[in-house]
């Protein structure tokens, strides 16, 4: 297991590819320190460069109290620099909130671009539009 608090520069350099286990909202992910620090100015970058302290769960995983299922897409973006979502993905608004929380600006831009290509019903804003019509005419029943 990677020791993120080590002050020995040699051990930090050699452990860049060591697996890092994360518990994000109960979901366990394993990745590298290089992936987590890909966006250095993000919250993950700050956490894994020692600027923000990390918390651990009872099994030693770094604990992040966020949506674990959506984090999968954030981690995949950090791995590939590409936003890859399944067709019909309906949690775009939640993904945008999580990307904003983690301060991953390039991912936020990708999400905005993706949202622009979606039908209004999937964009994360109000679902559809309500049209109010004031009808002053009387209803006649034809027989």
* 43 in any annotated domain: yes
112 found inside a domain: yes
What CATH number does the domain containing 71 carry?
3.30.710.10
Domain tally for the chain? 1
Residue 71 within any structural domain of the chain: yes
133 found inside a domain: no
- Residues of 84-115 as b/e, b for ≥16 C-beta within 10 angstroms? ebeeeeebbeebbbbbeebebeebeebbeebb
Rounded to two decimals, what is the model's pTM? 0.72
Does residue 85 sit within a domain? yes
Mean pLDDT of 86-101: 94
- On whether residue 37 sits in a domain, the answer given is yes
At 9-62, the pLDDT tens digits run 444 433 344 899 999 999 999 999 999 999 999 999 999 999 999 999 999 999
Domain assignment of residue 49, given as a range: 9-121
| Residue among 39, 34, 33 at smallest CA distance from 21 | 33
Per the listing, tokens 């950090």 go with 78
pLDDT tens-digit map of 119-142: 776 555 554 445 555 556 565 666
Q: Nearest-5° angle of CA 120, CA 71, CA 115?
A: 20
Euclidean distance between CA atoms 79 and 84, whole angstroms? 11
Inside any domain, residue 15 = yes
């Amino acid at each position: 297991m990677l020791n993120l608090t080590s002050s020995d520069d040699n051990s930090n350099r050699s452990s860049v590819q060591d697996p890092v286990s994360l518990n994000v909202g109960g979901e366990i992910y394993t990745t590298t320190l290089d992936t987590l620090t890909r966006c250095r100015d993000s919250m993950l970058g700050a956490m894994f460069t020692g600027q923000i302290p990390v918390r651990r769960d009872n099994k030693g995983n770094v604990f992040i109290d966020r949506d674990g299922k959506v984090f999968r897409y954030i981690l995949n973006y950090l791995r590939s620099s590409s936003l890859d979502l399944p067709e019909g993905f309906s949690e775009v608004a939640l993904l945008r909130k999580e990307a904003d929380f983690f301060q991953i600006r390039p991912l936020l831009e990708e999400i905005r671009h993706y949202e622009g290509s979606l039908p209004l019903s999937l964009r994360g804003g109000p679902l559809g539009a309500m049209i109010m019509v004031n009808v002053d005419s009387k209803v006649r029943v034809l027989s």
